[in-house]
Amino acid sequence: MINNPLLTTRRGALALVAGLLTSIVTPATAQTSAVVAFPFYSGEQALQGLYQHHLPALAQAFEAEAQALTAQARRFCAHPGERADLQAAWRRALLAWQTLSSPAIGPVIERRSQRQIDFWPSRPPLLKKALARKPQNLADMESVGTPAKGFPTMETMLAGEHRVEHCPYLVLIAEGITAEATALRRGFDELATRDWTTDEDAARAAFAEWINQWLGGLERLRWMQIEQPVQRARTAGDKRAPAFARQSMADNTAEWRAQWQALRAQARLKPEQVSQPPQPGQGLIPIEALLMGKGHIALAGRWGQALDAAEAAIGLLPSTPSQDELMALSKTLKGVTTLYQAEVAAALDVPLGFSDADGD
């Protein structure tokens, strides 16, 4: 028996829900649109939208960028010189990775991919040891700790003095990222063909994972990547600069925006969907649509407003934000967290693990 009402396979799931005819006010424009009816979406339909229509393309994009990174690394090592092209390939692959892994669900969790290719911070002493061992292939790299490979270590190597003898290791890091990207693409391809209605327990777990991990992805961005480095620097008492995940602030802000856009895509209706609700089986059904479909019209409105406030705040972030500006951004993002914990997840009938609204 499925407890979550969203996870029902009842025949009427696709039927328009009586009482959901309403005027929708879009906060961005403050205009009242036409009367719109949102269908009730089942949890299985939400999962189908996510895993069949949304994530496979992101996984393919990441795999393609990872392959391009490997190719660029090989070219660079064959003809060492200007590293700008390789750095650009690293950035494109990184953003594609963040877009796929925000939030981290499905194969990204099963494979512990964040740990495998994006362990931060990298550890230079571990890298030094790994370089000394001169691994020859990916099998050799399996014995290298994650803090000495993946995106952060590659960034460190690209920022430092280039040494020809280190080039094979650089290529191996890129190949490792590509291997992970390929494994993820396969994992998401497999999930794309899954019929979620055949296994209620699996569907319930996957839906709860998505709803929980969306919040986890937001908090990873808000706290771990933006606010915590600032707090850590402030409490050190020696006026040190915050240590963000990437070495250049431009890379940090680009990455934060990519993560936010990926989260937002799963949370907010597209403008055209306000008048033309997403149809089950045809595309991603964002969280806002789930709220509308369950009749939580007012909450969906506030949810949209909170997301738009965060969108505006992260869009206005200057290229080199001050600590105060980052704290203000974090506070705005926290507004999304608070609403999600207090109302959105509950409205979707999903208990949050370790929620701030809970004890411990």
Positions touching other proteins (CB under 8 A) are: 3, 104, 108-109, 112, 114-115, 119-121, 208-209, 212-213, 215-216, 219-220, 223, 227-228, 231-232, 234-238, 331, 334-335, 338, 352-356, 359-360
Least distance in angstroms from the C-beta of 350 to other proteins: 10
Least distance in angstroms from the C-beta of 40 to other proteins: 23
Helices 200-219 and 249-267: crossing angle in degrees, nearest 10, is: 140
Cα 10 from Cα 13, distance rounded (Å): 6
- Locate 334 and state its tokens: 């926290």
Least distance in angstroms from the C-beta of 280 to other proteins: 25
In this complex, which beta carbon is closest to other proteins, that of residue 163 or of residue 232?
A: 232
Please, how many CA atoms are within 13 Å of residue 5, restricted to the half-sphere of its CB?
12
Cα 98 from Cα 55, distance rounded (Å): 12
Least distance in angstroms from the C-beta of 134 to other proteins: 25
In this complex, which beta carbon is closest to other proteins, that of residue 279 or of residue 355?
A: 355
Enter the DSSP assignment of 358.
S
In this complex, which beta carbon is closest to other proteins, that of residue 219 or of residue 255?
A: 219
Start-to-end C-alpha separation, the chain: 28
Least distance in angstroms from the C-beta of 29 to other proteins: 28
In this complex, which beta carbon is closest to other proteins, that of residue 120 or of residue 260?
A: 120
Amino acid at 262: A
Cα 38 from Cα 274, distance rounded (Å): 9
Least distance in angstroms from the C-beta of 235 to other proteins: 4
- Locate 130 and state its tokens: 């790994």
In this complex, which beta carbon is closest to other proteins, that of residue 259 or of residue 273?
A: 259
In this complex, which beta carbon is closest to other proteins, that of residue 109 or of residue 254?
A: 109
In this complex, which beta carbon is closest to other proteins, that of residue 92 or of residue 220?
A: 220
Least distance in angstroms from the C-beta of 12 to other proteins: 25
Closest CA to 294 of 351, 354, 357, 343: 343
Closest CA to 317 of 325, 309, 308: 325
Phi, psi of 330, deg, nearest 5: -60, -40
- CA separation, residue 160 to residues 156, 244, 247 (Å): 6, 18, 11
